[in-house]
Homo-oligomer: A and B are copies of this chain.
Amino acid sequence: MASVQKSNPGNYFEDFHVGMEIIHATPQTLTEGDIALYRAMTGNRFAQYSSSEFAKAAGFPGLCIDPVHAFHVVFGKSVPDISLNAVANLGYADGRFFLPVMPGDTLSTVSEVIGVKENSNGKTGVVWVRTTGFNQRGETVMSFVRWVMVNKYEMDNPAPEPVVPDLPEAVPAAELVGYPDMKAWDMALAGGPYTFDDYAIGEKINHVDGMTVEEAEHQIATRLYQNTAKVHFDAHGQKDSRFGKRLIYGGVVISIARSLAFNGLANAGQMLAINAGTHASPLFAGDTIYAWSEVLDKAELSDTCGALRLRLVAVKDQDPGAFAYKDDAGKYAAGVLLDFDYWAAIPKR
A residues apposed to B, CB below 8 Å:
1, 3-8, 23, 25-29, 31-37, 39-43, 45-47, 50-54, 63, 80, 103-104, 106, 108, 136, 188-192, 194, 198, 200, 202-212, 214-217, 219-221, 223-224, 226, 228, 230, 233-237, 246, 263-266, 286-288, 290, 317-318
Contacts and interface: CB of A to CB of B under 8 A. Distances in A.
A25 B288 contact: no
B7 A212 contact: no
Given A5-B206, A31-B35, A32-B32, 19 more contacts: A3-B203, A6-B205, A7-B205, A7-B208, A23-B188, A25-B190, A25-B266, A26-B45, A32-B103, A37-B40, A39-B223, A41-B223, A42-B223, A43-B223, A45-B226, A53-B106, A210-B236, A212-B215, A212-B219
Contacts of A317: 236
A236 B315 CA distance: 12
Given A29-B63, A31-B32, A42-B223, A52 B212 contact: no
B45 A36 contact: no
A211 B188 contact: no
A290 B233 CA distance: 11
Contacts of A47: 25-27
B32 A53 contact: no
For A194, A220, A318, the residue with the greatest tally of chain B CB atoms inside 10 Å of its CB is A220
Nearest to A54: B27
Q: Which 7 A-B pairs have the closest CB atoms?
A: A33-B36, A25-B191, A210-B234, A216-B216, A236-B288, A33-B33, A31-B32
Contacts of A266: 25
Contacts of A265: 6
10 contacts: A6-B264, A23-B188, A28-B50, A28-B51, A29-B50, A43-B223, A211-B233, A212-B235, A214-B214, A215-B216
B216 A234 contact: no
A226 to B, nearest CB: 5
A220 B190 contact: no
Contacts of A228: 43, 45, 209
B190 A210 contact: no
Nearest to A218: B216
A266 to B, nearest CB: 7
A47 B109 CA distance: 13
Contact of A233 (B4, B39, B209): B209
B7 A26 contact: no
Contact of A32 (B33, B108, B226): B33
A214 B219 contact: yes
A187 B214 CA distance: 36
B194 A6 contact: yes
A249 to B, nearest CB: 13
Contact of A3 (B204, B211, B226): B204
A235 to B, nearest CB: 4
